[in-house]
Structure 1
Amino acid sequence: MPLLDIKNLTVSFETSTGPFMAVNGIDITVEPREVLAVVGESGSGKSVSMLAVMGLLPSSATVKADSMMFDGRDMLAMSASERRKIIGREVAMIFQEPMASLNPCFTIGFQIEEVLRKHLSLGKSERRKRAIELLTLVGIPDPADRLNSYPHQMSGGQCQRVMIAIAIACNPKLLIADEPTTALDVTIQKQILDLLMKLQEEHGMGLIMITHNMGVVAETADRVVVQYKGRKMEEADVLSLFENPQSNYTKALLAALPDNATGDRLPTIGDFQHQFEAASAVKTPPLEAPL
């Protein structure tokens, strides 16, 4: 049985000029212990799809799906209170921009312990002990002292590790990582990816990796979903995707990689846009999807 199984997901937003379709009829399936990469350029609806699963979209969003099942449970039929018991505990998300995602007004320890208090009902001493364990697990030095630090007192890489610690605090069954290496230097990116893959393997989590970095996809994923303008363009195992891409859009993505460049000028998606848009019989929404 799939860990996550979503059929025909659509997300639209009410704007001053009328409804805007950000995600249009996407199917998403994740098996236990599987790493699924969701790739595409900015505006393709990657983050919106996952925020819909988390129930974190604003009131201007309308989310519809034929079915949305998590671990055999119907998320569409759940009340808000029932869903809150799952989100953060069994399904967790690492958000983009850790410096913006962490609350600057509270210490690192408070923000980790709040998750434990909400979902596991641990006592104060137990929460502190678990918080130290989590910071140790994600490679934060002097974890007991760092509990009293504020986000601005830590580097971007350390804040990203804190975000990971918060996300895995309750040993979730499904972890969603939204561009987890954005704004980090190359060395720190590698460390964060290695940490995520180690935790995924040790805890047996399903992992959804949202990214536009095809190098990350090649290193981490078992299966790949390619999105463009809110639609799924292709789905394949990672080896098949790189060796034999089927959609023109995927071919354009791969052709735009620096390693595949054959001329003096790097190709861009725009160079191929007319090809894959002409091949689509259905008009797609504009790229400016609010992510």
Structure 2
Amino acid sequence: MSLLTIRNLTVRFATATGPFTAVDGIDVSVDAREVLAIVGESGSGKSVAMLAVMGLLPDTATITADEMSFEGRDLLKMTAAGRRRLIGREITMIFQEPVASLNPSFTAGFQIEEVLRINLGMDRRAARERALELFRAVGLPDPEQKLDAYPHQMSGGQCQRVMIAMAIATNPRLLIADEPTTALDVTIQKQILDLLMDLQERHGMALILITHDMGVVAETADRVVVQYKGRKMEESDVLTLFEAPSHPYTRALLSALPEHATGDRLPTVSDFLQGRAFQ
């Protein structure tokens, strides 16, 4: 049995000009200890699909699916109380903007201690000690000082490490990482990816990595789902995807990588899809 199973998921948003379909009938599954990459351009519905799993979409969203289950538990029929016991404990998520995802009014230590108190029932002293352990585990410099630091007093990379510490605090079965290296410089990107992969291996988590970076996919994933305009275009193991992609959109994505470019201008995905650079 897959850890997470999604069949025929559709997400529509009510807008002033009518309904907008952001996710259109996709299927996704991930097994225990597996690293699944969901890749595609911005606006392809990658994040929306996973936010639907987390129950974090606004009231303007309508979610339908033939199945959305976690270890056989039906997420669509689950009560609000049941979902609260699951989300944030067994399924956690790292968001794109770490600084914006942390509450600027509270210290980093308070925010992770709150996760531990609410989800694991720890008292304040135990939560403080565990928060310090987690800050050390994710490689935060001066972890004792960072417990009392506010988000604006830390760099983007440090805030992302705080978010990772919060996400693994409850030893989740599944961690969803949504563009975890966005807005970080190249050196910090590598450190964050290495940290995520090390934690995934040590804790035995399944990891869903949402990204548009094919280099990240090549380095981290076991299996890849390619999305375009809310639909799944292709799914395969990572080696097959790079050596023998079957869908024209996947071939376009790979051909548009800068290292594959020739001539005076970088090609775009649109060039390939319109036949100007790919036959």
- Which amino acid is 1:140 matched to? L
Could you list the per-position Cα deviations for residues 184-226 of structure 1 after superposition, in whole angstroms to 9, with x for gaps in the alignment? 0000000000000000000000000000000000000000000
1:83 aligned residue: 83
CA distance in 2, matches of 1:214, 1:18: 34
2:119 aligned residue: 119
- Which amino acid is 1:106 matched to? F
2:133 aligned residue: 133
Question: C-alpha displacement at 1:263, in angstroms?
Answer: 2.2
- Which amino acid is 1:259 matched to? E
Could you list the per-position Cα deviations for residues 219-268 of structure 1 after superposition, in whole angstroms to 9, with x for gaps in the alignment? 00000000000000000000000000010000000000011113222110
2:274 aligned residue: 274
Q: Secondary structure of 2:128's match?
A: helix
Given the alignment of the two structures, is residue 14 of structure 1 paired with residue 10 of structure 2, yes or no? no
Point out where structure 1 has 5 or more consecutive residues left out of the alignment: 276-291
CA distance in 1, matches of 2:143, 2:197: 22
Question: C-alpha displacement at 1:270, in angstroms?
Answer: 1.4
2:178 aligned residue: 178
- Which amino acid is 1:218 matched to? A
CA distance in 1, matches of 2:262, 2:3: 41
Point out where structure 2 has 5 or more consecutive residues left out of the alignment: none
1:216 aligned residue: 216
1:255 aligned residue: 255
1:217-256 matches, cutoff 5 A: 217-256=217-256
Q: Secondary structure of 2:274's match?
A: helix
TM-score, normalized by length of structure 2? 0.97
- Which amino acid is 1:96 matched to? Q
- Which amino acid is 2:181 matched to? T
Question: C-alpha displacement at 1:10, in angstroms?
Answer: 0.3
Q: Which moved more, 1:102-111 or 1:257-266?
A: 257-266
Could you list the per-position Cα deviations for residues 58-79 of structure 1 after superposition, in whole angstroms to 9, with x for gaps in the alignment? 0000011001110121111101
Q: Secondary structure of 1:264's match?
A: coil
TM-score, normalized by length of structure 1? 0.93
* Runs of 4+ off more than 3 Å: none
CA distance in 1, matches of 2:55, 2:144: 33
1:6-155 matches, cutoff 5 A: 6-155=6-155
Q: Number of paired residues?
A: 275
- Which amino acid is 1:85 matched to? R
Percent identity between matched residues is 72
Q: Secondary structure of 2:20's match?
A: strand
- Which amino acid is 2:274 matched to? H
Q: Which moved more, 1:101-110 or 1:71-80?
A: 71-80
CA distance in 1, matches of 2:250, 2:80: 37
RMSD: 0.7
Could you list the per-position Cα deviations for residues 21-62 of structure 1 after superposition, in whole angstroms to 9, with x for gaps in the alignment? 000000000000000000000000000000000000000000
Question: C-alpha displacement at 1:274, in angstroms?
Answer: 3.0
CA distance in 2, matches of 1:129, 1:142: 15
CA distance in 2, matches of 1:72, 1:202: 25
2:163 aligned residue: 163
Question: C-alpha displacement at 1:143, in angstroms?
Answer: 1.2
Q: Secondary structure of 2:270's match?
A: helix
1:279 aligned residue: none
CA distance in 2, matches of 1:164, 1:249: 32
CA distance in 2, matches of 1:252, 1:210: 19
